[in-house]
Amino acid sequence: MTQEVDIVIFGGMGDLSLRKLLPALYRSELEHRFSDNSRIFLTCQGDADRGRRQRQVEQGLKTYLLSGEFNEDLWTRFAERLHYVDLDINDLQAGWTQFAERLDQHRACVRLFYLAIPPSLFGVACKHLAETQLVTPESRVVVEKPLGYDGASANAINTEIAAFFPESSIYRIDHYLGKETVQNLLALRFSNSLFEHLWDSKTIAHVQITIAETVGVEARAGFYDKAGALRDMVQNHLLQLLCLVAMEPPHKLDAENIRDEKLKVLKALRPITGDQVTAFTVRGQYVAAEGPAGEHLPSYVDELGQGSTTETFVAIRAHIDNWRWAGVPFYLRTGKRMKERFAEIVVQFKPVSHAVYDSPLANSLEPNRLNIRLQPEEGIKLTLMTNKFNAEREGLKPVALNLNFAETFNYKAGDAYKRLLIDAIDGNPSLFIHRREVDRAWQWADPIAEAWARGYSPLHIYRAGSWGPRAADDLPAADGNRWFQAL
């Protein structure tokens, strides 16, 4: 759909904007998503010289788009939409009036205010938008995580925004929900009777969700050291994925129903407090090691430039206390500087109820497994037991039914931000987080962070480039399970 829209990115020349938002908007331009008179305003403080800023954006696109994606003609078309605004967000006297006049040239269109700025500025940005009467009924505000450091600070931020925007106009991004396979998880669950009938504790033994990264903390050490992996990844991305795996089928696939069902999962998450934090959570931090090509992989402390007890790895054994999932462990795991980059949900089914094969065949039986791969490639793999073909001896062998989205649909890896930005412009909040979800997710994460702060779990070290601390293996091992590392 082609929309007339004015997009304002506060922090328009910042890292998030250059790395993710502008490439996503550029790709939307390629798909003719915007009407001719749609505009993109990039606010920055200080020099808004058009020529200089334009070159910076062009350079950013060349760096962050995939190779071959940058195209001079498309850039010319896209560049015409870009406007640079010198704005001190804090100071209503500095630039806001001129900015309001420029924006008000189009009053009827959709307005998208993207707050790619520190959360400490969210309140004042919204207040000044309201005071300059820029908030129209067709205005939406998009906010990025981190939404707070804990439940209390998240609540304070949400309250500040809510003073100027109704909940229905607030779009809280979790970019994991924009990933193509996440959409496919919903399709897999709710359009295949095969799976829906098997999707509970009668058939499923456990679920594991891993987001492993090979990068360290990169340029965000300051932010990361205050947050750590629990706040940066678990409270949001991992819990959102868990919700989509575990939620009841919504009555309709619309925003209200999807978000209600996700909220019920968050409410049913068993709290992990006190001593249980020691038993059910593992936190780790990477130390220097040699990489696969003999390169030096620095420690977290070296990257940070100072000592720290912040976790760069977390593993948790979670439980959902409801009828469907009683007794099924959900193992969650994420870390920086791990051996490989991948994000995957693994659904491990129970073994067959009666072994018809005698030994030794019976020993080769493995339970079925469904791997839902989010990245780097996107796909779904179902492992079934089959009889070995042309084998010298008869035998059973696990074989995979493999659906690789890139090959099957002949498409390049999707852009989660593009998908979410278009949804926000179209006014579809299904893949955005409701305030109640944010609150509930913090209610579950806060006691873990507090117990860690009181020393309930030791900080385990792991070698950069490994699969994380050994102690993380003990979590599934205590139930007779193990982590699956890669497809």
Residue (213 or 423) nearer to ligand BG6, CB: 213
> Six-digit token pair at 24?
């996503």
Report, in Å, the least distance between residue 340 CB and ligand BG6: 13
Distance between CA atoms of 37 and 235, rounded to whole angstroms?
39
Report, in Å, the least distance between residue 218 CB and ligand BG6: 8
Residue (29 or 232) nearer to ligand BG6, CB: 232
Neighbours of 422 (CB within 10 A): 21
Which amino acid is present at 468?
A: G
- Residue 354 bears catalytic tag: no
**Which residue's C-beta sits nearest to ligand BG6?**
232
Query: Which residues, including other chains, have CB under 8 Å from residue 211's CB and lie 6 or more apart?
Result: 233, 237, 238, 333, 334, 343
User: Is 213 known to sit in a ligand binding site?
Assistant: yes
Q: Which residues are near ligand BG6 by CB under 6 A?
A: 175, 213, 232, 343
Report, in Å, the least distance between residue 137 CB and ligand BG6: 31
Residue (6 or 174) nearer to ligand BG6, CB: 174
Distance between CA atoms of 64 and 370, rounded to whole angstroms?
33
Q: Which of 381, 75, 420 is nearest to 255 (CA)?
A: 420
User: Is 89 known to sit in a ligand binding site?
Assistant: yes
Report, in Å, the least distance between residue 297 CB and ligand BG6: 16
Residue (53 or 175) nearer to ligand BG6, CB: 175
CA dist list (Å): 381 to 27, 186, 212, 350: 29, 15, 19, 17
Does 376 sit behind a cis peptide bond, omega within 30 degrees of 0 on the bond before it? Answer: yes
- Cα angle 187-423-220, degrees, rounded to a multiple of 5: 100
User: Is 15 known to sit in a ligand binding site?
Assistant: no
Report, in Å, the least distance between residue 280 CB and ligand BG6: 23
Neighbours of 404 (CB within 10 A): 14
Output the furthest CA–CA distance in the chain (Å, rounded).
83
**83, 128, 237, 434: which one is catalytic?**
237
| Pairing state between β 342-349 and 204-212 | antiparallel
Residue (134 or 304) nearer to ligand BG6, CB: 304
End-to-end distance of the chain based on CA atoms, in angstroms?
Answer: 37
Q: What are phi and psi of 41, to 5 degrees?
A: -105, 130
From the annotation, which residues make up the binding site for NADP(+)?
88-89, 145
Catalytic machinery residues: 237
